[in-house]
A = this chain, B = another copy of it.
Amino acid sequence: MTTTEEIAFLGPLYTYSHAAAKQYQDTLAVPTTLRPAKSIEECFQLLDSGEVKLAVVPFENSTNGSVVWTLDFLRQRLLGDDYFYSATAELLVPVSHCFFSNVSDKKDITKIYSHPQVWGQCVEFLKQYPNVERIDVASTAKAAELAANEPNAGAISSEMAGAAAGIKLVETNIADKKNNTTRFLGLSSLDDVQNPPPTKDDLSLISFTTTHNNPGALCAVLEEFRKHDIDLSSINSRPSLQDSWHYIFFVECRAHVSEERMKNTLKAMESICSSLTVIGSFPRCPGRDA
């Protein structure tokens, strides 16, 4: 008997997360179906409970930076005792915001719906609507749906979501940065999907905390990467919540956990760090810039 695994993603359908989930589906050898979740938190909760074994969560946007909610849900699990899944894929989704409205004259628009992350990505476009109310909704797909059914409303959304909602496309590609991209992580608790084999162009995502009274520890940790000739590609810190002004760090580096240099780095880190977890090693997404 074959089981079909479910991939949880931040719903509803037709969001950038949905596109990422479809990409993740394509990388997996097991049969899968997609399951929209209500929030990023629900994606993690479904993994925690074992209800799903696969999930896709947004991790970073090239304009807005890290998705701190994802980092904080990871933190909660990494610093608790219940972390048992791995990041097994990086997925890149080009974000092409479009403006939709059924209004015939743009002067009649009194409100624009979108996701809170979007406003900061479309600052130039929004200057032509200085006095229009901006309403935060849970997804760009929801934005298109609401604006489709209200007079005097507009929505900033993906082309896919606008088409699904049946609202008129007014302008495409309205973001300030035209090559705006969101990176997602594919998470898995399936035994045969954890740490896919090395491809010579891999990323490892590692979290660690250092002891509070050793502020030189961060430098000492990063020096180990340098000493073992491993390039870092990102670093993030979030409050650890164990103590004020104490942090959990997330670093991504260009090596696979199965490589000797990575094993040696992790071994050296063990004596410096108070907690240390390899969240996962996975191929670097094709199509990513140098």
Contacts and interface: CB of A to CB of B under 8 A. Distances in A.
- Tallying the copies of this chain within the complex gives 2
Contact of A289 (B232, B239, B244, B290): B244
A218 interface: yes
Contacts of A218: 222, 232, 235
A238 interface: yes
A128 B181 CA distance: 38
A287 to B, nearest CB: 11
Interface string A175-196: 0010101000000000000000
Contacts of A225: 219
A106 interface: no
A213 B290 CA distance: 7
Which of A68, A216, A244 has the most C-beta atoms of chain B within 10 angstroms of its own C-beta?
A244
Contacts of A219: 222-223, 225-226, 232
Contacts of A213: 290
Contact of A62 (B233, B245, B254): B245
Contact of A215 (B65, B179, B181, B233): B233
Contact of A245 (B68, B72, B226, B289): B289
Which of A65, A220, A237, A247 has the most C-beta atoms of chain B within 10 angstroms of its own C-beta?
A65
Interface string A77-106: 000000000000000000000000000000
Contacts of A6: none
A268 interface: no
A166 B170 CA distance: 47
A64 interface: yes
A119 to B, nearest CB: 12
A62 B244 contact: yes
Contact of A226 (B64, B68, B179, B223): B223
Nearest to A243: B289
13 contacts: A65-B239, A177-B244, A216-B226, A218-B222, A218-B235, A219-B226, A219-B232, A222-B223, A223-B223, A233-B245, A234-B245, A234-B247, A244-B289
A107 interface: no
A108 interface: no
A64 B71 CA distance: 12
A70 interface: no
Interface in A121-136: 136
A203 to B, nearest CB: 12
A218 B225 CA distance: 11
Nearest to A176: B241
Nearest to A120: B72
A215 to B, nearest CB: 4
A159 to B, nearest CB: 21
